[in-house]
Amino acid sequence: MHHVDLNCDMGEGFGVYRTGPDSELMKYITSANIACGFHAGDAATIRRTVKLALAHGVAIGAHPGLPDLAGFGRREMAITPEEAYELTVYQLGAVYAFAKSEGGSVAHVKPHGALYNMAAKSRPLADAIAEAVYKVEPSLMLFGLAGSELIRAGDAIGLHTVNEVFADRSYEQDGTLTPRGTEGAVIADPALAVGQAVQMIKGGEVRTRQRSGYILKADTVCVHGDTPGAVEHVRQLRAALEAEGIAVRKAGG
């Protein structure tokens, strides 16, 4: 039987600002990537999101990003591998402590936004992030873009890596995600997103924006909570996957 994890970026507000219907989305996902305070999130938001994940039996993940609150961590910054290591350890520590204090534990780490995309292409940055995760806790899983440098770096250091695919994003012919702002980068039609997810999980391939096929492995599917109609999209996706005989369960479980 095919199986897959469903993960979602969460806790991406701060102070009085909230983004995404986290409490509703938790009903349909199996892994939550919790913002750690650099691109979004703060102490109260991290704690609240950790407790919400524990209440729903959802795996807790740290979601470290670049220190760019104004740009939501989606703008590239010229950081060194040493800086990537340090900001990963720092942010992982925040979610790790809150999870432990609430009687839970962190299962995985998934970089956010520009940091994620940079590490998908840059082996030095990928190595630094993988080393940071390994040195904090070698049993943690590392989520990365399927077939990317981040996955290769995690494999090389001995981490359990999880190949991530995106139902609602289009792909380039080299397997990277189409940059946001490019026409067609985000797939708004739920039916198209579901079809792409099923093809990636069952067929091991995605149709790129250039209309070529790209072979990949799908261990976890990312769903975005900050898009209009997110809850209904995620509900439809999970129902469609299960109807296709694809079991939805936590990564590594």
Residue 54 CA to residue 47 CA, distance in Å, equals 11
Residue 207 CA to residue 211 CA, distance in Å, equals 6
Q: What is the pLDDT of residues 90-108, one digit of tens each?
A: 999 999 999 999 999 999 9
What is the arithmetic mean of pLDDT over 6-35?
A: 90
Q: In 3D, which of 238, 252, 220 has the Cα closest to residue 7?
A: 220
Residue 222 CA to residue 7 CA, distance in Å, equals 5
Cβ atoms < 10 Å from Cβ of 57: 9
Q: Domain range for residue 205?
A: 3-248
84 within domain boundaries:
yes
Q: What is the CATH number of the domain that holds 139?
A: 3.20.20.370
Paired with 34 in beta bridges are: 10, 62
50 within domain boundaries:
yes
What phi and psi values does residue 103 have, to the nearest 5 degrees? 85, 15
| CB-neighbour burial class of residue 134 (10 A; exposed 0-12, middle 13-18, buried 19+) | middle
213 within domain boundaries:
yes
Q: What does the block give as tokens for 140?
A: 């943690």
CB 130 within 8 A of CB 222: no
What pLDDT does residue 180 have?
A: 85
Q: What is the pLDDT of residues 39-75, one digit of tens each?
A: 999 999 999 999 999 999 999 999 999 999 999 889 9
102 within domain boundaries:
yes
DSSP string, 56-93: HTPEEEEE---S-TTTTT-S-----HHHHHHHHHHHHH
Residue 170 CA to residue 187 CA, distance in Å, equals 7
| Count of domains forming the chain | 1
Hey, what's the torsion of the CAs at 165, 143, 41, 75, to 10 degrees?
-70
Q: What is the pLDDT of residues 182-217, one digit of tens each?
A: 988 988 888 898 999 999 999 999 999 888 899 999
**Could you tell me the pTM of the whole model?**
0.94
What phi and psi values does residue 80 have, to the nearest 5 degrees? -90, 160
253 within domain boundaries:
no
141 within domain boundaries:
yes
What is the arithmetic mean of pLDDT over 227-237?
A: 85
